[in-house]
Amino acid sequence: MDVETKNNILVEKSSTLEIKLHPLVIINISDHWTRAKVQNNVKNPRVVGAIVGIQNGRTVEIFNSYELAYKEEGSLVNIDLEYLMMKSEQFKKVFATYDFLGWYSTGSGVTQDDLTTQKQLSEINESPLYLLLDTVAASRPETKDIPISIMESEIRIISDQPTMFFSKVPYQIESGEAERISVDHIARITPSGDSNTSQISTHLTGIHNSIGMLATRLRILKSFLEAVKSGKIAADPGLLRQLGSLCNQLPALHSDELKNDFIVEFNDSLLITYLASITKGTNGMNEMIDKFNVVYEKQKRKGNPLYYCGPKVLITEPSIVTEDSSSSEEMGDDHPQTIDDGTKGEIALELKLPKRRSMRRLNSRTSNMNDFTPKSSGSRPTTAPSSLYAMQSAGTLKGPVLIQSAGMYCILTLIIASAELLQWAPNIRLITFVPYFMIFYVITEACRLASLLGDVWEAVLPFYATLIPFAILVFLSREAHILVTVLFFSYVMIIYLQSGLMSLQIHLMIYILSFLFIYVAAVCVMMVWYRDATGLDFKLGRILDPPINWQQELTFVCSLAILGIGFLFLEQFVKLYANTLLDRSHKIQTLEQETEELKKEITKYKQEKDDIDLDAPIQKVISVLRNMANESDEDTREQLFFVIKTLSSNKLYAPELNFEEKSVDGEVASFIQNLIEDGKEDKHTENKLAVLEKRTGKIARFLPLVDEGTEKRIEAGLQRIEDWEFNIFEMTDLTEGRPLFATGLALFNRHDFIRKFNINESRLKHFLTVIEDGYDITNPYHNAIHASDVLHALNFFIVKGGLSAYITELDVFSAVIAAIVHDYMHPGLNNAYQINTQSELAVRYNDRSVLESFHVASAFKVLYEDSNNIFSGLTEAQRKEARETIVTMVMATDMAQHFDLLGRFKSKIAGQGFDPKDRKDRLLLLQIAIKCADISNPMRPQAMCNTWAHRVLSEFYKQGDMERKQGLPVSAFMDRGKPAEAKCQIGFIDFIVGPIFEVWTSFLPEVGKLMVNLEQNRIYWKNAMEQNSIQEVGGL
């Protein structure tokens, strides 16, 4: 750093903070300074206060400020922190979302004493903002900008010493509507004599002057009338008439208009009350219907369903289904409709249903009349009638008639256009179709509005309305009129077979006759109109080519009539066929219902006869296998009993490690056995509790103070954090022993967790710092570097390996935290040691996953502290799910669960695979992921693998020394007098790392390239072991 930066306390730096300053803060500070100046009679006093607002990530919004109590010792300001805390709590009660952001001061510049005050306030906010109002610059005429600076503190290394500086932060003025109006008013009010006033001031002043002038004139008129009345002034009839006319123009207090207005307002109030009563009554009716539905379903399950008497009405849902309109018309509007409760002559409920045809838009579940037919108890259901009229009245099936009609008009227009383009009807002019489209639009809108008049109008009007566009279309299509007529007629018949109209046959016959008549009339008009042979007569159309042939036209009309008769037969057949299908469907539904009732009766009978079956599926499987074994030959029986024995054991997924048969080295076998059995032995010496020292972590200790060059190298290194070759040891050196903070914060930012889960950034930094301080730096292996390495490997599996396709965002968030805390406060002595020495932790956690339980419990104790709570922005459901995921993943790092998890993982892959929607499947994937990340050292490049191997062995020797000291047998590979690093690594690769990564890479093929590193590292250790053997033989 240059000399200028050393000597200055204000440095230049591009800040990523986005600060929004509200005008109220500026007004408050100015008011504070003005009052201090007047009260203390000081020319340029200094005032100090607090600024509050909201911080969301890197965006800070300063909303308000208040004064602080402080003492001045020369230029040094000593703030009363107790008063600040009390004031903040009071402010928090009113504005719960506002936080203490920093402090403000007035003066002419930044001083060294301001840094002292900044450090004092860092106890409350780790990085407070400093707002300075330069009152000296404000008094200068040449000052045009607002003399306000906002600064944040920054730590830099100067001559190997941490030094605090201020750096300016850009800001922008942010204001709401109310703030803009008030600020405009205050800004424009100037000393008297200046006309530059605000709009609101001008408006209020004008109103005040007008009222004053009116009052003055009224007093003059009153004095004049009193003087005339007393005889002091002679009466002037003309003037009095003008005064009377003026008074008559004023609104009378008891006028008819006032009464009418009052009555209207009163009636509106009564109407609102009436509507509220109707709404309440309707709500009560809905509740009653819901209760009836409950009773109906209960009676139906008992085999005694409730049905309506009289009119065929059934309530199956909160929606109401009514019978056809003809029945409603016969009964009248107020005919009572009742519901039978299953007993003769007894009425359970009476409903008066108004005659509203729109209520025929029914629930799709009640689509045929058989659903509404009363049945006596125990009778068979009645079949559907031969005709579909009654069924249609109860619930008609209708097609989208208007939409299909519009499509028909457009398609016919395209066909006519093709006739012109292909030159077989060259005299058609598409421009003449503009009136046709206008009429088509008007008719479509009229048909749409007709649906409001009732179902009959809704079906009939569009049907007959097609005749108008048809007549125009035939006339305009000229030589193509026969083709257009055939297509139009066929389209209309097909579309309106879907109308659902009850008396469709009658309307079809009327429509066919009308259609033929209109066609003949249109042809006659065409003969009269299309007579111009020259093409020069604008009053007539060009002559048809070929001309109309009446013999051909009459034959065509007869053909259309025959086609219409065919559609009549088709309509009847469609109805009969639909009736048959619905009858069959009803019978099938009835049969299915009776089958379900029979199943329920059988189930009920079984439950009453037999005890409840509490056998688990595995018990039933074993029972079946045992029966098969009893009926099989000797060889099959022996194999089946082996299967039964395996299924009955508690080691279903545990492999059979027959080390004796496989001639495995005894020390390797002991090492693997201790890993998977937690080293549980019956050999104990005297009870000596290993009590862990309590490590609380240093508050507000973040990344060490580094120079700019190192900071850039850290940022460059973190850019490669998603590469497998990422070197965590280099990052440890760059961050001076804080790799977990750097990698953790980098991944939180890369995954955008701060925004997605509403995390307070200062709490996140504090949490990462406390967790990293909880890792014992004296442990050669289980320290913050190992936690960072596991975090990096797990993130690689998620991002580059493809695991993200199977898990959710919340799972990724939980997995990152699990990796960060998975070995928190590890004592450097494994579970076997804790159990064998009956340590305090082993007693507390009942010898089961001792250290893993301790890690996750201690981590959550830290996380639930207010200053570390990064879960505060989660919902309750998210918080519970995240905690469950973290606990499950940390517990999976226990090597005693290794083969059980591996067996479950293999079974899942060999079976139905993983379902991303199944939470249990996702948890199993995350358990395998963190387990693979935890033992991934042999998958690293050779140099890193060697470093980790040396660290593991160093920690093993440390535990071996403790075991020897306490009289315990020294565990395998932990005796520093018998070094066997290569043998340990080969055994770990062959029995632990290799098998699980073979399955893991088959599931995530992108991870498969890492197997090259594993093979190279195994070859390296094998060569090293052979070299050691040669040296030992040579020594002998």
CA atoms within a 13 Å half-sphere pointing along the CA-CB vector of 744: 29
What's CA 236's distance to the chain center, in Å? 83
Which run of H or of E encompasses 67? strand 59-67
Residue 481 marked as a ligand binder:
no
Give rounded-to-5 percent helix, strand, coil for the chain. Answer: 60, 10, 30
Residue 766 marked as a ligand binder:
no
CA distances from residue 861 to 310, 541, 632, 770, 920 in whole angstroms, order as listed? 71, 95, 59, 11, 26
Rg (CA), the chain: 46
Closest alpha carbon to 28 in 143, 172, 131: 131
Distance CA 116, CA 77 (A): 8
H helix count then E strand count, the chain: 38, 16
Structure tokens at 96: 């719960």
Q: CB of 885 within 8 A of CB of 923?
A: yes
Residue type, 883: R
Distance CA 712, CA 812 (A): 28
Q: CB of 766 within 8 A of CB of 868?
A: yes
Residue 830 marked as a ligand binder:
no
Which member of 22, 782, 792, 898 is catalytic? 782
Structure tokens at 822: 């998975």
Residue 782 marked as a ligand binder:
yes
What are the φ and ψ backbone dihedral angles of 979, each rounded to 5 degrees?
Answer: -65, 135
Structure tokens at 681: 């032995």
Residue 289 marked as a ligand binder:
no
Q: What is the DSSP code string of 334-358?
A: T-EEEEE-SSTT-EEEEEE----GG
What are the φ and ψ backbone dihedral angles of 477, each rounded to 5 degrees?
Answer: -80, -10
Which sign does the torsion angle of CA 782, 786, 791, 795 carry? negative
Closest alpha carbon to 78 in 35, 107, 48, 45: 48
**Tokens 């040691």, residue located:** 833
Q: CB of 53 within 8 A of CB of 98?
A: yes
Give the length of the chain: 1036
Q: Does 481 participate in catalysis according to the annotation?
A: no
Residue 822 marked as a ligand binder:
yes
DSSP state of 39: H
Distance CA 934, CA 277 (A): 68
Residue 784 marked as a ligand binder:
yes
Distance CA 5, CA 708 (A): 13
Which residues are marked as active site?
Answer: 782
**Which parts are annotated binding residues?**
782-786, 822-823, 934, 985
**Which parts are annotated binding residues for Zn(2+)?**
786, 822-823, 934
**Which parts are annotated binding residues for AMP?**
782-786, 823, 934, 985
